[in-house]
A = this chain, B = another copy of it.
Amino acid sequence: MSADERAPRPGDAPFTERTPRVVAARRLTRRSGRDRAERFLAEGAQAVREALAWAAAGRGRVHELFVTATAGARNPELVREAAAAGVRVSGVTDKAAAVLSETVTPQGVVAVCSSVDVPLDVALAGGPRLVAVLHGVADPGNAGTVVRVADAAGADAVVFAGDAVDPHNGKCVRASTGSVFHLPIARARDADGVFAALRGAGLRLVAADGYAPEDLVTADLRGDLAAPTAWVFGSEAHGLPDEVVDSLDAALKVPIYGSAESLNLATAAAVCLYASARAQRA
């Protein structure tokens, strides 16, 4: 089959929300469906472009692409690129695109991708120097934004530990703006096992903890942040449990110079990860 044969042709009837392949893909909007199929949905032209690049690099697979007539007309090169890469491309109705979408305004272009997460030992291979750990973070938008920040700060991996959100959640994927495809992501329920593996990889485990007595500037001036570091972040609502903070190598807060009570998760992570990234490059 040539690339042209894989792309939808003008005469083809678009898939509806009742077409079996759309019905199957729709199950991926739920965590149970994603876990079972080990696939997820990447929605929007930018996410699909990132997914194709990730697959082209041999890091995963794009199984198929659904595209509405409007989105197809707007992104002809994306459709061509997908077809050329051997991805099955199917036209869908606007309603079918809507049932596959987790956004208010469906983008009209959705890829079915294999899961991005890799085993923890794979994520930590190759001497990581900066890792972000999300411990029990439940909000997908926050988690995705931290993945984006970790990617920007040059982190080597992101680990979702404990009872955390699924990194393949639509809101997480969207908030990451493609970063879920850029750096290794691992998931493990057993947080103690994660911490042991991080230590085994030579990383110093630092809790980002708004209640810590010491702030990261003080630690940085002492040279602590230049060491290979895994920053451990807790949920925005509850922070890190005391027993987790106590089990790590250090706890540091972002200094609050004004009257705010705290920073939100993503902005705190930005300050922490960039402080380490800078110290490691100095």
Q: Decide: B258 and A153 in contact? CB cutoff 8 A.
A: yes
A256 to B278, CA, bound (A): 11
Q: Decide: A182 and B259 in contact? CB cutoff 8 A.
A: yes
**Listed A/B pairs (15) with beta-carbon separation below 8 Å:** A148-B264, A149-B260, A150-B258, A151-B259, A151-B260, A152-B256, A152-B262, A152-B263, A153-B257, A177-B260, A177-B262, A257-B281, A264-B266, A270-B270, A270-B271
Q: A210 to chain B: closest CB distance in Å?
A: 10
A260 to B148, CA, bound (A): 6
User: How many copies of the chain does the oligomer comprise?
Assistant: 2
- Besides A179-B259, A182-B258, 7 other A-B contacts (C-beta < 8 A): A148-B267, A151-B260, A152-B254, A154-B257, A178-B261, A266-B266, A271-B271
Residues of A within 8 A of B (CB): 145, 148-155, 177-179, 182-183, 217, 254-264, 266-271, 274, 277-278, 281
Residues of B within 8 Å of A262, CB to CB, are: 152, 177
Q: Decide: B264 and A277 in contact? CB cutoff 8 A.
A: no
Q: Decide: B258 and A177 in contact? CB cutoff 8 A.
A: no
Q: Decide: A263 and B178 in contact? CB cutoff 8 A.
A: no
Residues of B within 8 Å of A269, CB to CB, are: 267
Q: Decide: A261 and B177 in contact? CB cutoff 8 A.
A: yes
A282 to B12, CA, bound (A): 66
Q: Decide: B149 and A267 in contact? CB cutoff 8 A.
A: yes
Q: A51 to chain B: closest CB distance in Å?
A: 14
Residues of B within 8 Å of A254, CB to CB, are: 152, 274
Most buried by B among A145, A183, A267, A281: A267
Q: A131 to chain B: closest CB distance in Å?
A: 12
Q: Decide: A278 and B183 in contact? CB cutoff 8 A.
A: no
Residues of B within 8 Å of A148, CB to CB, are: 260, 263-264, 267
Q: A279 to chain B: closest CB distance in Å?
A: 11
Q: State whether A154 and B217 are in contact (beta carbons under 8 Å apart), knowing that A145-B267, A148-B264, A271-B270 are contacts in the complex.
A: no
Most buried by B among A258, A259, A261, A264: A258
| CB contact between A151 and one of B149, B258, B271, B277 (< 8 Å): that residue | B258
